[in-house]
Homo-oligomer: A and B are copies of this chain.
Amino acid sequence: MSSANPHAWSEHARAVLARAGRQRGGARERVIELLARQPCALSAVEIEDELRARGEATGRASIYRVLDLLVEHGLAERVTVGQGQARFETVDPTGEHHHHLICERCGRLVAFDDPGLERAIDRVGQRLGMRVERHDVLLRGACERCE
């Protein structure tokens, strides 16, 4: 789930990085632009392939660097959906966040948010005396279309 306005996110991302003293660069620009217009999380390999397909081939190392940088600055989130690869998606500047639900029939990945779930997680953290800084929730099952 990218922000409703892809442009807003990419602008925001550029601003945050500039403020952090980062110079601009082609690879970064390409990754940011691509990520900005995605409806849901992409893996690094998908990004690499997609950029190459568009004739904007970009070094793998740069892609991972940009992704790390975005995550580090809270601009993107690393989503671990499957077994072996991480996916990345933009984080809404307003701070809203969400979780995913994956249909094990068709592979569709859907984002959702739920205040009740967030509250339940907060309570767990308190109960266990742990400072929960982040949490990943992934629901697996059959989506409406596949049921």
Stoichiometry, as copies per complex, reads 2
- Is the CB of A2 closer than 8 A to any CB of chain B? no
Those of A122-147 within 8 Å (CB) of chain B: 123-125, 127-144, 147
Q: What B residues does A110 contact at CB under 8 A?
A: 128, 130
Q: What B residues does A101 contact at CB under 8 A?
A: 128, 130, 132
Instruction: Tell me, rounded to whole Å, the shortest Cβ–Cβ distance linking A122 to chain B.
Output: 10
Tally of contact residues, A, Cβ under 8 A: 37
Q: What B residues does A117 contact at CB under 8 A?
A: 117, 120-121, 124
Those of A71-96 within 8 Å (CB) of chain B: 78, 80, 83, 86
The 8 Å CB contact of A103, one of B116, B130, B137, is B130
- List 15 other contacts, CB 8 Å, given A104-B133, A135-B140, A136-B137: A83-B86, A103-B130, A110-B128, A110-B130, A114-B124, A116-B123, A125-B139, A125-B141, A130-B144, A131-B141, A131-B142, A133-B142, A134-B140, A135-B137, A136-B140
